[in-house]
Structure formats: C-alpha cells, structure tokens
Structure 1
Amino acid sequence: MSASVETRLYAVRTTAGQELNVALLIERRSSTHNIPVKSIVAPDDVKGYVFVEAAGPHVVDLAVSGLKHVKGYVSGKVEFEDVRKLIQPKSVIEELSLGDIVEIVSGPFRGLKAKVTRIERHRSEVTLEPLEVTYTLPITIHAAYLRIVSKAAKEEKSKQKPEETGEESGILSAFRRLKGE
C-alpha cells in the first residue's frame, strides 16, 4: 500500500527578472539530487517570486539553498487558489481601453502599432488607427490578435470626443433644448 504525500505550494523570493533562471536551476538540482519537488511555477505577472510545490518547507530549502538569484523563501504555504488566479490567462479585450497603443501580432498587419479608437466587447472586436502610416485607415480586428504596448494616459481619456464617451457637449445639448427635442 503506497501512501500519497500531500503537497503544498511555497513562494521562493528571487531577483526580479531572474524567475525563469531560478526555476530552471531548481528543476536541475531537484532532478540530479532526487529532491521530491512536484512542480515549479514562474508566472510572468509576478516579479521576484517562483512557486514550488513540495511535501514541506524542508524540501524547498534543500532545492533552493545556495542557488544564485535566490533571496530566500516566504515562510508558510501559499494556497493553490491564489496561484491559480495569477496564472490564469486574461483576455486582452478586458484590459483594453480607448487610446491604448497596441501591436498587431497576427495576420496581414502583423507588427503594426496602432491606437485603439473603438471597442466592441460583446463581439471582441477593436477598431484601430495605425500609427506608422501617413493616412488614417481604420482597421477592425479581433482582440485576440492584439498585444498591449502601452496604456492610454488619463489626460487622453478626458480629451475624448463626447460621441466616444456617450456624453453630449454643452452646445449640442443646448441646441437640442432650443429645438424642443
């Protein structure tokens, strides 16, 4: 009868930008020295941390002690649900807002940088104005083919046309009142 060992996740602090290197070093050490590490996760969104799944903190200590770029590990365990939230892919359409600068990553316009002018979230479509062309040519493309380069500044959002924000300008609303609409 084999007894299954319950594993837990532990957070290892690393030098920022060296998470993948540390994960590879932990994997190499655990395989060569037969250290029972179940899995290693280095999410892109979490800078300075690598998550190691093992039976206990003593196993993690064996795996990371003396490794370059390891600053130590956080005492206590990390819940699986917390890590799942970090590694779950996020939809690009949820992150986009008007005025963002994006890069097209697929299709005939691949590599082109553009500014977001309209977002249709229910259809996952985005209308863009290319930045690198001499004329304005609106392009409507599926959000899956985009990568966010930079977010729009707050000042740009306040400079949007009233039609884009769904509000009327003061002159237009006064004109409508005069007409009796």
Structure 2
Amino acid sequence: MWAYLRGTYGGMSVTRLRHLTIKFDTYKKCHDQNIKQHLRVMSNMIAQLKSAGHVLSDEQQVQTVIRSLPNTWKHLKVNLTHNDNIKTFSDVARHVELEDECISVAKAASNAFVADSSGTKSSGFKRKKNWKRNGKNKETGEGPSKKKKKPNSKKGKRFFKKRDKSRDWISHTSNHLLCRET
C-alpha cells in the first residue's frame, strides 16, 4: 500500500520531470543575480532532477552551465568549451567564479583611477622662475631681479571676432515669417 501511495502522490510525474529538464536546459543567468546565486540555482535544479531519478552526466551539467552564461561572457564560454580539464559541475563553477572575481576587480580598479579635476589649485611645491643659487644672479652678484614687462604686451588678452548681427536679424525674421505661415 505504501508503495502505491508513494508512486501515486510522492513520486515525480512524467510532466513534472519534463518541466524540470526543460527548465534546466534553457536556464539563463538573470542580470540581477550574481554568479554564486546563479550557480546555486543550477545546483539545486541538478539535485531536484537527481532526486526525481533523472541523473545528468557530468558533460551535460558542464554544457548547460556554459550555455546559461550571459552573451557578454563569450570569451569564457569558448575557453570553457575547449578546455579538456573541465569535467564536472564543480570544475566549471570554480572557473566561472574566478572569472566573475576578475571582472569585479577590474571594474573596481578602473573606477579607482578616475580623478576629480574640478580644482584649479595644485598643492605641490612650485619653484620661482628666477630662482638662482643663493638667491643671487651669477652675472651681477645681485639678488633676483624681475623681468620688465613690455608696455604693449598682448599676453592674457583675448581677441574675438565681431559678430555680424545683421545675419542674426535676417535669420530671426525669416524664422518668424515661417512660423506665421504655418
């Protein structure tokens, strides 16, 4: 009687087994999941299939994990596919976790080199332009002298072309007339 009840109510129906198999075969990593969560879900699906009596080979497990990775990991998918040393689920899981760790370290490093360039003052030591040994000019023996500025120096001045305002008026009037017509 227990065997009948277990077979009727406690066992896995063929439909449920097919559903689990299809779910495992088509499973993809969600963008909001991290790799450890993704591998944990896949491991749970393998355990459910095993408890239902459908044991997957190691090669099937490895291929399904590789297929489940995002398309942005194409290089890793190719490497895992052609690597003969990866034979079990734990092997592929270890490689995928290492790749995820490398990606997160690379992101952190690239963010660390972003500098804030909003300040204009620098805090470093600046040397005076006319600095000489012992503060004296070698030729005259006198202290540092300032250079004389040219009276008509254009340094620092900016020259702008004068704008032709008649063109602005023409374009404004033509735009105004076009708006009136429509």
TM range (shorter): under 0.3
Greater RCO (CA < 8 Å, at least 6 residues apart): 1
Please identify the structure whose Cα radius of gyration is greater: 2
Give the TM-score normalised by structure 2: 0.25
Name the structure where helix makes up a greater proportion of residues.
2
Q: Which has the higher strand share?
A: 1
With normalisation by structure 1, the TM-score equals 0.25
